């Protein structure tokens, strides 16, 4: 999972790409657990995954209407299919990704 900046996210959406964008903040304990879960998912699926510290991009929080972190956006062809706030488990995330992107 690579750290993305605003340009990376904009390019990803403009190119009508599909994948995941994970928004977090570094001091959030739940975000740290969610990051570990996504590291496992990253090894299971061949999907673009970018992560972004929401503290550096409040404009994206407004654009996507992000209510809290952690937040995972499932993007297909440049459009948000789903926003996930409750990561629950690795199998839960895998099924969500499989249904949407695989």
Q: pTM for the full model? A: 0.93
CATH number of the domain at 14, please.
Answer: 3.40.30.10
User: How confident is the model over 38-88, as pLDDT tens digits?
Assistant: 999 999 999 999 999 999 989 999 999 999 999 999 999 999 999 999 999
Q: Look at residue 1 in the predicted model and tell me its pLDDT.
A: 86
Q: Which domain holds residue 86?
A: 2-101
Q: How far apart are CA 25 and CA 54, in angstroms?
A: 6
Q: Which residues contact 7 (CB under 8 A, 6 or more apart)?
A: none
Neighbours of 90 (CB within 10 A): 15
Q: How far apart are CA 91 and CA 26, in angstroms?
A: 24
Q: Look at residue 102 in the predicted model and tell me its pLDDT.
A: 77
The domain tally of the chain equals: 1
């Amino acid at each position: 999972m690579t750290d993305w900046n605003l340009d990376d996210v904009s390019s990803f959406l403009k190119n009508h790409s599909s994948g995941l964008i994970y928004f977090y903040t570094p001091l959030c304990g739940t975000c740290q657990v969610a990051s570990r879960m996504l590291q496992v998912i990253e090894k299971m699926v061949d999907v673009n995954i970018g992560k972004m510290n929401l503290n550096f991009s409040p404009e994206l929080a407004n654009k996507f209407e992000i209510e809290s972190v952690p937040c995972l956006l499932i993007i297909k062809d440049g459009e948000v299919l789903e926003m996930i706030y409750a990561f629950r488990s690795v199998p839960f995330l895998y099924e969500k990704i499989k249904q949407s992107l695989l």
